[in-house]
A and B are shown apart, each in its own frame.
Chain A
């Protein structure tokens, strides 16, 4: 890779900080994953997965948030999102944020949270 910014496509813009791990990309289909979106392993891993992908698959055997994954792998969220985007595209994981991100919680849930906090 040369020293000047590389372009992957028009959308992506220049890569200003290549990571070996994700082959220099800073964008992927995982960009929109919410920090609290739920990740689940769904596919059987092919043999040649990288170590980070294997860690993700292992950690996501039970549902785990994007943020928790980043902490567990000790990687910046941006890198984890790129990895997750690829893995989803390959059918290895599902990522869903239906219950988070976009919508505010309903009344019943908020009351449950209040009671839960009181009980802490």
Chain B
């Protein structure tokens, strides 16, 4: 090889979760160069009894395209964003993604707040630091962050913010809020 091995890059993972159509792909695309990442999961890995697969051939895999974005902070320090569907049936992907993840952004739409409940449950159970970003769609009634916090029954320390995922500055603000929250979580744990 052409050079001496350098140190391994530091690679951080951030998850972007939320219900269908809430703005995950838009958010990842606003702040990073976004690419679709194909995952293919064999369902036999997922707690389905082996017997259940008897006589089943080609269809026991799930193909899911994740949003995949990369933000290079500097050479050797990269933040990877993974946008994943919020429904419980996709939790198999999250189990992997949340392992060692810096934290998660849960995007909420006030017109259908319940869509983000599974995501909140998941990260709460896992102890993954997360922030709730309320995507302000045009025409949607504006709710205060306090209303959203109460409606979602969130802990006081979970940051809730309004955002417009189409705007880069807004997307940046969301990411910074998450990393600051992760940092607080980290330092308060020590």
Interface residues of A (CB under 8 A from B): 3-5, 13-14, 16-17, 26, 34-38, 40-42, 61, 63, 65, 67-68, 70-71, 74-79, 96-107, 109-114, 116-118, 120
Q: B74 and A36: CB pair below 8 A?
A: no
* 21 A-B residue pairs with CB within 8 Å: A13-B50, A16-B61, A17-B40, A34-B99, A36-B78, A40-B5, A61-B1, A67-B37, A67-B80, A71-B36, A75-B38, A77-B37, A99-B11, A102-B99, A104-B182, A105-B12, A105-B102, A114-B183, A117-B172, A117-B175, A118-B176
Interface residues of B (CB under 8 A from A): 1-2, 5-6, 8-13, 31, 35-45, 50, 53-61, 63, 68, 70-71, 73-74, 77-80, 82, 96-97, 99-100, 102, 168, 172, 175-176, 179-180, 182-183, 186-187
When distances are taken between beta carbons in the complex, the residues of chain B under 8 Å from A97 are: 11
Query: Interface majority SS on A: helix, strand, loop or mixed?
Result: loop
Contact of A36 among B50, B61, B80 (CB under 8 A): B80
Q: A38 and B38: CB pair below 8 A?
A: no
With the chains together, A105 CA to B39 CA distance in Å?
A: 26
